[in-house]
Structure 1
Amino acid sequence: MTYVIAEPCIDVMDRACVDECPVDCIYEGGRSLYINPDECIDCGACEPVCPVEAIFYEDDLPPAWTEYTHDNARFFTDVLDGRNAPLGNPGGASKIGPVGADTPLVAAFPPRPSA
């Protein structure tokens, strides 16, 4: 099991969770953040600091957002990095920095109005 970032993060990306993660497993796409399920140690440090309540333990994900479990994983297998290769498990988000791309699910989400 792992933690999952769902729809409320899209176009918000507060990054408080990134600062709190002890294993650097939260990666930045273009419009959303993604938790690498292979690098996450299930510590839960990210969940309480998210100001938009977008992070859930996989088993606690609301039914409307269950597709985000697979979507977070797809970010690491389907989204390409600057070398035009899948991200895979790079061993830390700070090593690669912002990716600037998203999964099709996130990319298709209508833009949120600016605050």
Structure 2
Amino acid sequence: MKKNQMFIDIGGAIKEGIVLNNMTQKEVAKAIHVSPQTMSCFILNHRTPHIYDLVAIVQLLHLDIRIVLDLKKDNASQLDHIIYQKVIKLNNKHKEMINEYAEQLLKQEQTHYGAT
């Protein structure tokens, strides 16, 4: 890496999106019409996706492109990343418990704020 160049972990963001959407690398690769090997290179940051591929990935995985490209730094996105890093280490039973708790919190929030 040259001096003054910054590293953006696009692959890490893609990996998080894949996990959060309960998909596989292979499924995402097929959906955006790239080979599984190419998708693996994107995730490992060995290759940078073409803009069209990146847009397709972001849309498929419901990601915020500003966060993927490290253009937006806010406490919520940092918290999302911290939570993801911890949850990914849990076993399936505990992940399910976290999911159920999150659903309860969302229902409480909807009731409290009258959201639909």
Tell me the TM-score normalized by structure 1: 0.38
Larger radius of gyration: 2
Whichever structure has more helix as a proportion of its residues is 2
Higher RCO, 1 or 2 (CA under 8 Å, sep at least 6)?
1
Whichever structure has more strand as a proportion of its residues is 1
